């Protein structure tokens, strides 16, 4: 499984984390003024990055066997240690996707490594077929609104004999050759998401070049059964059920979260309809609202935080006739699962490289050595047998509902029509036969709310390594050591592991606060529970319900801020907001935001990226009795955080407490 649900932290907020970690930001040096000799390579100062980077191109044969002519320039960035004396070692980071260039995630990797950089060098390489290492461009696949089997096959045909030459195996060989040329000695290799797949292949093929291995958001290389992704649905169900069980309002309802969602699923099956709605950024989307659209929200994990926070309540609202919350999540997912940037540049994300990796390296339910027509017939037989033997493989969805998801999330059918692979490069051959996993010290991190790369899959990956250690981050999502993670626990554990090659102190993995769920969606203030009155409160229950509505309005923006970064957005039922990044977090500006139809919420909110005090100055406008100013304070990043609210609504003093936004 190739996890994608990557949440980003924008520039200023990330820079704050970066600087707080002790990373000096150096101005770029003009090319040509000097060179840095590392091993047998001469590197130039980078002109497109900061942080004291040196850049190089490393020439590699496209086909190491010489059958296909041509060469590739493999682009990399090198960051020398800042302290005196020789380096203790080299830290290497590799990116997920597949299809993303690692160097475009440099800020996150450098933030992770910042406390270690006094004594350790850092190397980041774009894998062949990505970024500045000859990014694959299959124009139709790169620009399509919807990936199809035939477009994937056309990409394979366009690449022809070159297609298998962009496999993970050859990319790991590139890194091995680069390390030898730079004379780094054994390195500490970190991989996230698909980068964990790459890192495991590297460990099998080049174990002597590793000092340690970190797999963040991991899944195993897999066998034939893995082609069905058997842990995908259980981990998806766990994600929603765990989050519900950790929310007082959700767990007070009968049943678990999946049982709360199933009535909406039944309704979408019985009455699919053509939907049109805007996502939180204001983009319009049109689609068929059916069981598969719901499956994309639940499996796709995009938006990761908002989908967990809101889906249970949105599904319950849908059954009562309020479609707005669920349709917004569906619209956001349609945008969020698209890995391409707005320019659709293959250098930013190569859909062609993603297709190559899936069809060359991943296990399939059919034999990739068959001709496409035979392969599709084999697939149909395998699917018919699966329907008989394991119809609940993707429950609560049927196998057919699951297969109608976007191909690069349902996986099974993506490569059915890919051109037949040559005998010289057999599919799935990731290491020589009989290769054993090395005894490299290996740390595997998982978030227990991550269904893209599940804890069950990560456990298998850890067990493959004789010195593997699996650490599960409670309430963690996908990838937990980089700055976009919900807490800094994963990064702390990784840094300590690199320094000591041990993971004895992982207590923080149990302390990451829960995701605060929406208790329910409401069209009118009167449908909400009132906030709890504190000493000094004279406001009546209806005014305290308005307090609840205002806090939920703040929450809907706050949960999206880390993924939106700086920019504009629209409210659930109207109004708009602005997200601006500050030195240590976000400043939100709300303009007549409507979480319910009968109350406008305006004002400002300042909140940290992860932990610390948060404050909101709000102005409510509804009926005369529901209008007035409120001040809200809470501490972000603490379990079961409570917000204290003070102000004046309709002439009555408000003093109340409720769950933080």
Q: What is the 3-state secondary structure (H, E, C) of 222-272?
A: CCHHHHHCCCHHHHHHHHHHHHHHCCHHHHCCCCCHHHHHHHHHHHHHHCC
Tokens standing for residue 328: 């917004």
Any idea which of 14-23, 238-247, 264-273, 291-300 has the lowest mean pLDDT?
A: 14-23
Q: Taking the CA of residue 117 as centre, how many other CA atoms within 13 Å lie in the half-sphere pointing to its CB?
A: 23
pLDDT at 16 over 60: no
460 and 323 part of one domain = no
Q: Give the DSSP letter string of 528-562.
A: SPPPEE-TT----HHHHHHHHHHHHHHHHHHTTHH
Percentage of the chain lying above the pLDDT 70 cut: 94
Determine the distance from the C-alpha atom of residue 391 to the mean position of all C-alpha atoms in its chain, rounded to a whole number: 29
3-state secondary structure 493-516: HHHHHHHHCCCCCCHHHHCCCCCC
CATH of the domain at 447: 3.40.50.1820
Residue 547 lies in a domain: yes
pLDDT at 22 over 70: no
How far apart (Å, rounded) are the C-alpha atoms in residues 578 and 368? 49
Percentage of the chain lying above the pLDDT 90 cut: 87
Q: What are the tens digits of pLDDT across the range 483-525? A: 999 999 999 999 999 999 999 999 999 999 999 999 999 999 9
The pLDDT confidence band at residue 239, using thresholds 50, 70 and 90, is very high
Element (DSSP H or E) covering residue 459: helix 455-464
Computed over every residue of the chain, the mean pLDDT equals 92
How far apart (Å, rounded) are the C-alpha atoms in residues 551 and 589? 14
**Domain end among 285, 318, 336:** 336
Average of per-residue pLDDT across 548-568 = 93
Q: At CB < 8 A and 24+ separation, what contacts does 392-395 make? A: 393/228, 393/230, 393/233, 394/232, 394/233, 394/295, 395/233, 395/237
CA max distance for the chain: 83
pLDDT at 314 over 80: yes
pLDDT at 4 over 70: no
96 and 17 part of one domain = yes
46 and 105 part of one domain = yes
Question: CA 566, 310, 604: angle at the middle one, nearest 5?
Answer: 40
112 and 242 part of one domain = no
How far apart (Å, rounded) are the C-alpha atoms in residues 603 and 557? 12
* Residues 549 and 589: beta-carbon distance below 8 Å: no
The better pLDDT of the pair 341, 425 is held by 425
28 and 106 part of one domain = yes
Q: Is 337 helix (H, G, I), strand (E, B) or coil?
A: coil
DSSP letter, residue 329: H
**Domain end among 309, 336, 363:** 336
pLDDT at 20 over 70: no
495 and 541 part of one domain = no
The better pLDDT of the pair 23, 71 is held by 71
Q: What are the tens digits of pLDDT across the range 207-226? A: 999 999 999 999 999 887 89
Nearest to 115 by CA among 22, 251, 53: 22
446 and 487 part of one domain = yes
Residue 344 lies in a domain: no
pLDDT at 222: 82
pLDDT at 266 over 80: yes
pLDDT at 6: 38
pLDDT at 51: 67
Nearest to 5 by CA among 160, 185, 236: 236
**Which backbone phi and psi does 388 adopt, to 5 degrees?**
-80, -40
189 and 265 part of one domain = no
Residue 403 lies in a domain: no
How far apart (Å, rounded) are the C-alpha atoms in residues 553 and 575? 11
Residue 417 lies in a domain: no
CA-only gyration radius of the chain, Å: 25
pLDDT at 9: 40
171 and 249 part of one domain = no
Residue 588 lies in a domain: yes
Task: Quote the number of domains for the chain.
Answer: 3
Residue 3 lies in a domain: no
* Residues 196 and 457: beta-carbon distance below 8 Å: no
Average of per-residue pLDDT across 382-406 = 97
Any idea which of 42-56, 514-528, 592-606 has the lowest mean pLDDT?
A: 42-56
Domain range spanning residue 590? Answer: 525-659
Residue 155 lies in a domain: no
Sign of CA dihedral 610, 614, 619, 624: positive
20 and 103 part of one domain = yes
pLDDT at 257 over 80: yes
551 and 571 part of one domain = yes
69 and 213 part of one domain = yes
pTM score of the predicted model:
0.93
Residue 104 lies in a domain: yes
**Domain end among 291, 313, 336:** 336
Average of per-residue pLDDT across 76-93 = 96
The pLDDT confidence band at residue 282, using thresholds 50, 70 and 90, is very high
How far apart (Å, rounded) are the C-alpha atoms in residues 284 and 464? 46
Start-to-end CA span in the chain (Å): 33
Average of per-residue pLDDT across 643-658 = 97
């Amino acid at each position: 499984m190739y996890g994608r649900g990557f949440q980003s932290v924008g520039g200023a907020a990330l820079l704050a984390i970066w600087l707080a970690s002790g990373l000096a930001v150096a101005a770029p040096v003009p090319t040509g003024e000097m060179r840095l000799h590392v091993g047998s390579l001469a590197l130039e100062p980078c002109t497109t990055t900061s942080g004291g980077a040196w850049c190089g191109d490393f020439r590699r044969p496209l086909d190491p066997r010489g059958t296909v002519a041509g060469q590739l320039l493999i682009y990399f960035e090198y960051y020398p240690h800042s302290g005196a004396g020789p380096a203790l070692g080299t830290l290497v980071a590799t990116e997920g996707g597949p299809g993303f260039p690692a160097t475009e995630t440099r800020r996150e990797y450098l933030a992770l490594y910042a406390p270690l950089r006094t004594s350790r060098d850092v190397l980041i390489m774009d894998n062949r077929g990505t970024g500045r290492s000859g990014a694959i461009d299959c124009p139709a696949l790169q620009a399509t609104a919807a990936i199809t089997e035939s477009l994937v096959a056309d990409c394979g045909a366009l690449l022809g004999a070159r297609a298998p030459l962009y496999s993970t195996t050859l990319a790991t060989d590139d890194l091995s050759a680069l390390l030898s040329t730079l004379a780094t000695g054994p390195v500490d290799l970190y991989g996230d998401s698909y980068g964990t797949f790459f890192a495991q292949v590297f460990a099998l093929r080049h174990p002597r070049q590793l000092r340690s291995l970190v797999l963040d958001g991991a899944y195993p290389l897999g066998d034939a059964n893995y082609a069905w992704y058997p842990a995908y649905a259980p981990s998806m169900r766990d994600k929603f059920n765990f989050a519900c069980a950790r929310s007082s309002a959700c767990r007070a309802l009968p049943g678990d979260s999946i049982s709360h969602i199933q009535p909406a699923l039944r309704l979408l099956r019985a009455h699919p309809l053509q939907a049109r709605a805007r996502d939180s950024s204001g983009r319009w989307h049109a689609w068929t609202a059916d069981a598969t659209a719901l499956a994309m929200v639940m499996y796709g994990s995009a938006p990761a935080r908002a989908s967990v926070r809101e889906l249970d309540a949105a599904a319950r609202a849908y059954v009562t006739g309020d479609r707005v919350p669920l349709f917004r999540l569906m619209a956001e997912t349609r945008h969020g699962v698209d890995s391409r940037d707005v320019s659709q540049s293959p250098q930013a994300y190569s859909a062609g490289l993603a297709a190559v990796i899936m069809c060359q390296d991943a296990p399939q339910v059919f034999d990739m050595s068959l001709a496409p027509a035979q392969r599709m017939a084999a697939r149909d037989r395998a699917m018919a047998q699966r329907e008989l033997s394991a119809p609940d493989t993707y429950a609560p969805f049927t196998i057919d509902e699951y297969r109608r998801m976007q191909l690069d999330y349902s996986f099974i059918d993506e490569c059915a029509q890919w051109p037949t692979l040559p005998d010289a490069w057999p599919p799935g051959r990731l290491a020589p036969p009989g290769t054993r996993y090395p005894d490299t010290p290996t740390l595997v991190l998982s978030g227990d709310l991550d269904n893209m790369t599940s804890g069950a899959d990560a456990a298998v990956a850890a067990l493959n390594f004789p010195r593997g250690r699996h650490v599960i981050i409670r309430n963690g999502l996908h990838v937990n050591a980089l700055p976009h993670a919900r807490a800094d626990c994963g990064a702390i554990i990784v840094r300590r592991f690199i320094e000591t090659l041990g993971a004895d102190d992982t207590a923080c993995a149990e302390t990451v606060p829960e995701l605060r769920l929406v208790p329910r969606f409401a069209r009118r203030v009167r449908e909400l529970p009132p906030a709890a009155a504190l000493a000094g409160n004279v406001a009546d229950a209806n005014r305290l319900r308005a307090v609840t509505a205002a806090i939920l309005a703040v929450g809907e923006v706050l949960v999206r801020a880390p993924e939106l970064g700086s920019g504009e957005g629209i409210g659930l039922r109207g109004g708009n907001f602005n997200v601006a990044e500050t030195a240590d977090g976000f400043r939100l500006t709300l303009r007549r935001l409507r979480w319910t139809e009968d109350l406008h919420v305006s004002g400002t909110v300042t909140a940290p990226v992860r932990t610390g005090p948060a404050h909101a100055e709000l102005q409510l406008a509804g009926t005369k009795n529901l209008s007035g100013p409120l001040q809200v304070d809470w501490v972000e990043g603490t379990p079961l955080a409570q917000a204290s609210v003070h102000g004046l609504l309709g002439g009555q003093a408000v003093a109340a407490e409720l769950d933080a936004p």
